[in-house]
Amino acid sequence: MSNVNIKRLAAELNLSISTVSRALQNSSEIGQKTKERVVALAKKLNYQPNHYAAGLRRKQSNTIAVVVPEVADNFFSLVIDGIDMVAQTKGYHVLIFLTRDDYNKEVGFIRHIQSGRVDGVLISVSSESKDNEHLHELNKKSIPVVFFDRVFEDIPTAKITTDDYKASYKATKQLIDKGCKKIACLAIPETLLISRKRVQGYMDALEDNGLIVDTDLVMHFDTNDETIIYPIIRDFIDKNRPDGLFSSIEKLALLTYQSCASLKINIPNDLKVISFSSLKIAPLLQPPLSTITQPAFDMGKAAAEILFKALEDGKSDLKDDHIEMESKIVIRESSK
């Protein structure tokens, strides 16, 4: 059962190794009959080329890295699905790196990736990332990088996000239009551009509509740990009793729902909530959750397509470009 390799095939067929190699690649310089003989034997012996040996020689891996904070998350899992969708059509494989919002892990992964491990990288940076030296290094190493959702503006490469500012502005405006006067905001770390944009949209909407921005009503969470976040949110809502709430990510909105249930605060009568969310069953929640839905799957596809285009063109440097995709805002009221 020793592994069958190209050498073995060559020996059995009385051909040279290179001929076999070429035949397998369907090279035009090999005779038809020879090709057939080679392919036939390869199939018979269930020959599988060694991906790594080929890659080592060719200096490419046919593999891309997807670096994300988490996978058990509606948004990221949809993005990964989209990425994989196009990767499969291109004959590429997907290596997953979960940073778990740990900056050091992210740095480690990116460093590791540099040595020809992958041909390209799709990344949504971790919450704690501040210094982005590691990403600059990667960019310099002629490994194409595409940022999605959580991006670093100052790395000159392709970036793809949703219209975070605009969507947040509109969403907040919706709350105002519904009569909310005291609108809270739950957000992820300020170190993330995406977070700053969302909060800015929220603030500007307030100001433009004659409401005062009260920074006490804006909370940033640096952790992912729900057991820590939940009591904070519950407390926050209990003390401040906002009548509107804009949430920067789904998880925070769901914790708000739980908090309200426990505090006997009626949504949406006492508190209207709108949140960025990829939750498909938002309409099945009672009360249903008003959502700002990012085109996660399509974003994954788009990001991957940009990357593969660069890979196919042999261009390692992607243009410093920022694409914004449109989110969909859906207001859902109580069905009663």
Residues at the interface with DNA (CB under 7 A): 3, 5-7, 14-19, 21-22, 24-25, 28-32, 34, 49-50, 53-54, 56-59, 115-116
Residues in 288-327 at the binding interface with its own copies, rule: CB under 8 A: 297
- CB-nearer residue toward DNA: 32 or 142: 32
Cβ at position 176, least distance to its own copies in Å: 26
Angle at 161 between CA 109 and CA 331, to 5 degrees: 125
Query: From the list 84, 106, 119, 243, which residue makes contact with its own copies (rule: CB under 8 A)?
Result: 84
| Residue 154, token pair as written in the block | 């100052």
Stretch that binds its own copies, among 77-85, 149-157, 179-187, 304-312 (CB under 8 A): 77-85
CA distance 188 to 73: 15
Q: For its own copies, which residue of 90, 93, 234, 332 counts as binding (CB under 8 A)?
A: 93
Which of DNA, its own copies, none lies near 21, with the C-beta cut-off 5 to 8 A by kind? DNA
**Which does residue 78 touch among its own copies, DNA, none (CB within 5 to 8 A, set by kind)?**
its own copies
In sequence order, the 6+-apart residues with CB closer than 8 A to the CB of 202 are: 168, 169, 171, 172, 183, 185, 218, 246
DSSP per-residue string spanning 167-203: HHHHHHHHHHHTT-SSEEEEE--TTSHHHHHHHHHHH
194 within 8 A of 200, measured Cβ to Cβ: no
Token digits for 109? 């992964």
Q: Could you say which of DNA, its own copies, none residue 7 binds, taking C-beta under 5 to 8 angstroms by partner kind?
A: DNA
Contacted entry of DNA, its own copies, none for residue 111, CB cut-off 5 to 8 Å set by kind: its own copies
Cβ-contact 246, 171 below 8 angstroms: yes
Burial of 306 (C-beta count, 10 Å sphere; 0-12/13-18/19+): buried
Nearer to DNA, 28 or 215 (CB): 28
Select from 28-36, 75-83, 164-172, 236-244 the region that touches its own copies (CB under 8 A): 75-83
**Binder to its own copies among 81, 238, 321, 333 (CB under 8 A)?**
81
Residue 327: in which H helix or E strand, if any?
A: none
Instruction: State the DSSP H helix or E strand holding residue 243, giving kind and residue range, or none if neither.
Output: none
Q: Is 42 in the site for its own copies (CB under 8 A)?
A: no
- What are the φ/ψ torsions at residue 187 (nearest 5 degrees)? -140, 165
For residues 89 and 308, is the Cβ–Cβ distance under 8 A?
no
In the set 286, 319, 320, 322, which binds its own copies (CB under 8 A)? Answer: 286
Q: Which of 52, 130, 210, 313 binds its own copies (CB under 8 A)?
A: 52
141: contact with its own copies by CB under 8 A: yes
Strands 328-330, 290-293: pairing kind: antiparallel
Interface pick for its own copies out of 14, 26, 28, 46 (rule CB under 8 A): 46
Residue in the structure block whose two tokens are 């509107």: 244
Given 14, 26, 33, 72, the residue binding its own copies (CB under 8 A) = 72
Q: Check the CA dihedral 27-29-31-37 and report its sign.
A: negative
Question: How many residues sit close enough to its own copies to count as binding (CB under 8 A)?
Answer: 53
| Contact yes or no for 62/118 (Cβ under 8 A) | no
Query: CB of residue 25 vs DNA: minimum separation in angstroms?
Result: 6
d(CA 89, CA 132): 32
Interface with its own copies by CB under 8 A: which residues?
1, 3, 46, 48-53, 55-56, 61, 63, 70-74, 77-78, 80-81, 84, 88, 93-98, 105, 111-112, 114-117, 137, 140-142, 254, 257-258, 261, 279-281, 284-287, 297
